[in-house]
Amino acid sequence: MQFFARMRTSSVTSQSSLLAILLLLLTIAACFVRQHFAPYAAEIAESEFMPHWGEALLASLLFATSGIVIGRTATKMGAFNGFCTLPISLYGLIACGIFLAPRALTAASASCLTAIGSMLLLRSLNRFGDKNSVFFAAMLFGVATIVYAPCAVLIILLGVAMVLFPLNVRQSIIAVCGWLIPIFAASYVTWYAGGEFGCVVTNIIDTFISIDPHPALQPFPVMATIIAGVIIIVVITAIMLFRANRYSVLVRVRKAMQFNEWLFIILLATTVFMGNVVMMLPVLALPAAVLTAFAFDKMSSRATALLYWLLWACFIAHLFVA
């Protein structure tokens, strides 16, 4: 107890970048090792085939990139009281610590594309009339849709950005075209290879129409339930704290936080609707990590330390207790 009493918010929320990245890498590695030897029932239900070591290595690099990108983006948002690297390590905990997608490369690719796309889209907040950032962000969202069809909901996020930032008419048209280009390119390649031109769009639509029973319907392991419950409570706290003080921050910070709120709501609704918890967690972890870090940064030092170390204690127990 004396350990927690001596903890300060700064010691938890202001970890060095090196420590945060190291913690992220260790979390990812531990989860892949655990999955290889003792996969959870929800992971087996998603796919009976666990990733090959080469796929696992590449997925680990993409997971790490996602965590670093979202951490850098969150710091540049200016929503924290000081230097904060918490989103980096929290991303690894949420994306891989609860469940690890058996199709890890697909999930990690979708997460990485979404993270970089979000970073570019938020960059346009500081650059009035910026077309390049908007175009490439929308194009990455389109590629994410090709990689993992449920990411098609990111088109809603582009609509939110058009109203929230706001984007002018030219930027809005560029965003829509940027999102459509990868889908058109994939359709053309499919047609050139002898398939139907519209099968890519059809497959995306079918993903939302034909929903099969999924691992989300199965009971969660105890520790996974605790981790998920704490994260959801902290995220709700973050939204309430932000809403209560939203007019006391810079307009740029307010819009960036609202962007993350909408991203979380859209992805959470998709996850609940489709029941694809295992595969959507790495993408959902992006806004969840930012909002959780925001709440930890605003809460009292004792509450922050208690919840933070509770999450990691549950994660370590989760590695050994099904």
pLDDT of 120-150, one tens digit each?
999 887 777 788 999 999 999 999 999 999 9
Query: What single DSSP character describes residue 215?
Result: G
Cis peptide before 182 (omega within 30 of 0): no
Report the alpha-carbon angle 162-291-213, nearest 5. 85
Query: What single DSSP character describes residue 221?
Result: P
Q: Which domain, by its residues, includes 171?
A: 2-320
pTM of the full structure: 0.90
Please give the structure tokens belonging to residue 130: 């910026």
Nearest CA among 107, 60, 67 for reference residue 87: 67
CB 284 within 8 A of CB 271: yes
Average pLDDT over residues 247-275: 89
Percentage of residues of the chain with pLDDT beyond 70 = 91
How far is residue 234 from each of residues 288, 292, 305, 317, measured CA to CA in Å?
9, 6, 13, 20
Q: Per-residue pLDDT tens for 162-193? A: 998 888 899 999 999 999 999 999 999 999 98
Question: What's the farthest any 2 CA atoms get from each other in the chain?
Answer: 68
- The domain tally of the chain equals 1
Residue 7 pLDDT: 41
Residue 218 pLDDT: 58
CB 315 within 8 A of CB 254: no
